[in-house]
Amino acid sequence: MAEKKGTKRLAENRKARHEYFIEDTYECGIALAGTEVKSIRAGKVNLKDSYAQIKKGEAFIIGMHISPYEQGNIFNRDPFRERKLLLHKSEIRKLLTASQVDGYSLIPLQLYLKDGLVKLELAVAKGKKLYDKRSDIAGRDAKREMERRLKEARFR
C-alpha cells in the first residue's frame, strides 16, 4: 500500500480564532492507539473545548474527543483520555514558559494528516475580551461591505 503525500484536514477548532489571539503555532504528533487512528481517519474527532498542558516535562492534550471505532470492540479506549503530544524538548520548554505567562493558553487549532501521519497544530494563544471580538466582527463586516460595493461598481 502506497503512502499518500500531502495534507488533509480532519478536524478544526473554529472557535479558537474567534476567542483567542494566536501568537505562535507548533506542529506536533500525537501518541494514539490503532482504533483511535481509524476513528480519526473517519473524521470522528472533536477539538472543541480541548487544550494542552505541560506535566512533568511532557505535553498532553486534554478534552479532545475521539469517538470509539465501531469495529474496535475491546481495543477501544476512553474517548476523552489524555493523549501525549510528541514534541522536541526545546519546543516543550518554549511552550511551558509561554503558558506560564498570565492570560496565555495552549490551544489546538486543527488536526490533519500529513504524509499519512496524524498531526496537530498547537497554538500559544491569549484570550480575547468581548470588545476585541466586537471590533473583529465590525472589521469583517466593513470589509465585506466594501467588497460588495466594489463588485456592484464594476458591473455598472
- With beta carbons less than 8 A apart as the criterion, state whether 28 and 90 touch: no
pTM of structure: 0.74
Domain span including residue 115? 9-128
- With beta carbons less than 8 A apart as the criterion, state whether 83 and 100 touch: no
**Domain membership flag for residue 136:** no
The CATH number of residue 69's host domain is 2.40.280.10
**Domain membership flag for residue 2:** no
**Domain membership flag for residue 138:** no
| pLDDT per position as a tens digit, 98-138 | 888 888 889 999 999 888 888 999 999 888 887 778 888 88
Share of the chain above pLDDT 90, in %: 23
Q: From first to last of its 156 residues, what are the pLDDT tens digits of the chain?
A: 455 677 888 888 888 888 888 888 999 999 887 788 888 888 888 888 899 999 998 999 998 888 887 776 766 766 678 889 999 999 999 988 888 888 888 999 999 988 888 899 999 988 888 777 888 888 899 999 999 998 888 877
Q: What are residue 153's phi and psi, to 5 degrees?
A: -65, -35
Please report, as a single letter, which amino acid is at residue 110.
Q
**Domain membership flag for residue 68:** yes
CA distance 133 to 118: 31
**Domain membership flag for residue 135:** no
The half-sphere exposure of 112 on its side-chain side, counting CA atoms within 13 A, is: 15
The rounded Cα 118 to chain-centroid distance in angstroms is 12
**Domain membership flag for residue 26:** yes
**Domain membership flag for residue 142:** no
CA distance 21 to 41: 29
Number of domains in the chain: 1
